[in-house]
Amino acid sequence: MEAIAISLGVVPYLAGRTTLALGVLVFWYSVQAFFASGEFSVRSVFVSIALGVLTVVVHLGVAWVRGVLAALEQEVQAWMRRLDRVASTVFAMGFALYLLGGFGGMVLMGLGEGLPFAAVSGQTLAPEFSMKLLLLLGVGVTAYAFASLRSWIGGLFDLIPLSDESSVRRVLFLSESMFTVGGLVIALLFPVVGVVLTGVMFAMLVGVGLMLRAVTRGARGRCEACEAEVHLAGSACPACSAPRVPRRIGFLGRVLDGAPADVRKHQQALLAARRCPSCAERLETVEGEVRCSACRAPAFRDEEARQSFLRHVEARLAVLVPVLAGFGLVPVLGIGAALVLYKLAPAGSLSAFVSWRERLGTRVLRTLAVLALLFIQPIPLVGAFAVPGLIVLLHLATRRAFLAASTRGETGGGAARVQPLAA
């Protein structure tokens, strides 16, 4: 039963960061095999470390390729997600077969008999064929369910303008990679705990998927004047410029029922969600100017609008600081969660209006600060002060770049076909 518990425990991580999870498993069982065979030496340690490093390199290479392909058409992205589901399911079933004995080692590793991995396979349980087949099908169904959930959540997240931010993707990638390694170690050392965590994570993923579906559902409608598709939070049609009554927006840009009470605050909320303050379509940066991708209106009419947005962002940051302090109490993972929350919240929206050159300096600062925090943040109560301090430091660096862009006119106004409603 230990083999089945371990197989189910590693399924969520194979369905997420497959290449990284496989590398950790290869490294883990290589060391186990070296101990079992009595050939644990300097050379065996070097081989195991080399396998681990090679896996990380392969994982980063796969992530880079996926990042490049993510910019392609939706058909390619859908094909990639189908391939992910098949690959993670096959690898999960191969790993379970390997633990249950028989030819699983050859299926998963392609290494054949006589290599170190075979030593571990001989020590695992070997139930009857019918029971083994039933258990393998259970592992396969579980792996496919996790991969499908992840694909569904990824498709919904792509509909949110925040997903265009490379920094958000990067933080999610690093956090998920750290979570994969930690979760695999738990599943391998404590199989029962791993199975429990599998059920908990499945419920959490379902909850996240339902939340994202609520955020992205019902956000669009038709213009009453020209029948063009419009975003319901917009105050004007991007096609014909006809004015309309906008709807309120909530967390992650979710469209709510009812008109906003304050038009100016509504425009700032749209900007914080990386949307045009007029028609609510996505903002894009072209030749240093942040403009609407549909109506071509500038993100800010004038310097007063920029300063008003800056005050809006800093007010939201002040509210967020106590929450960040709570995340800081969670060792290591709290840093990643705090950075993701900061980027998704209005408090972290300034970076969308700063050039990539300015963001590069902030990225270096963030990397150095995170590395320093990894050493001191697990100390009890230190993280409650260190993590908010990191976020404030990043905000100040981004704020400086935002104001510098203002003096250079990189996000300036200019004529546009649609202007935001007056406050």
Say if residue 38 is in the same domain as residue 151: yes
| Token output for 58 | 């392969």
**Domain total of the chain:** 3
Q: DSSP letters of 264-316? A: HHHHHHHHHTTB-TTT-PBEEEETTEEEETTT--BS-SSHHHHHHHHHHHHHH
Examine residue 281 and state whether it is found in any structural domain, yes or no. yes
Examine residue 418 and state whether it is found in any structural domain, yes or no. no
| Token output for 169 | 């993707």
74 burial class (0-12, 13-18, 19+ CB within 10 angstroms)?
A: exposed
Taking the C-alpha atoms of residue 146 and residue 168, their distance in angstroms, rounded to an integer, is 22
Examine residue 323 and state whether it is found in any structural domain, yes or no. yes
Say if residue 76 is in the same domain as residue 205: yes
Say if residue 203 is in the same domain as residue 124: yes
Give the domain-ending residue among 216, 243, 261: 216
Residue 66 has a pLDDT of 67
Say if residue 119 is in the same domain as residue 61: yes
Say if residue 74 is in the same domain as residue 134: yes
Give the domain-ending residue among 244, 272, 299: 299
Residue 115 has a pLDDT of 37
0.75 exceeded by pTM: no
Length reported for the chain: 423
Q: Which residues contact 32 (CB under 8 A, 6 or more apart)?
A: 119, 120
Say if residue 22 is in the same domain as residue 96: yes
Say if residue 25 is in the same domain as residue 141: yes
Note down the domain range covering 336. 306-408
Residue 390 has a pLDDT of 83
Say if residue 56 is in the same domain as residue 113: yes
Give the domain-ending residue among 216, 247, 282: 216
Say if residue 240 is in the same domain as residue 140: no
Per-residue pLDDT of the chain (423 residues; tens, 9 = 90+): 677 788 888 888 888 788 888 888 877 877 777 777 666 667 767 777 777 778 778 777 877 776 666 555 556 666 777 888 888 888 888 888 877 764 444 334 443 333 344 334 444 444 456 677 778 888 888 989 998 888 888 777 776 766 666 666 777 777 788 888 888 888 888 888 888 888 888 888 898 888 878 777 767 888 888 888 888 888 899 888 899 889 888 776 778 888 888 888 888 888 888 888 888 888 877 666 788 888 888 888 888 888 889 998 999 899 899 998 888 887 777 777 787 788 778 888 887 787 666 666 666 776 777 777 777 777 777 888 888 888 888 888 888 888 876 665 544 443 333 333 333
Contact criterion met (CB below 8 Å) for 159 and 216: yes
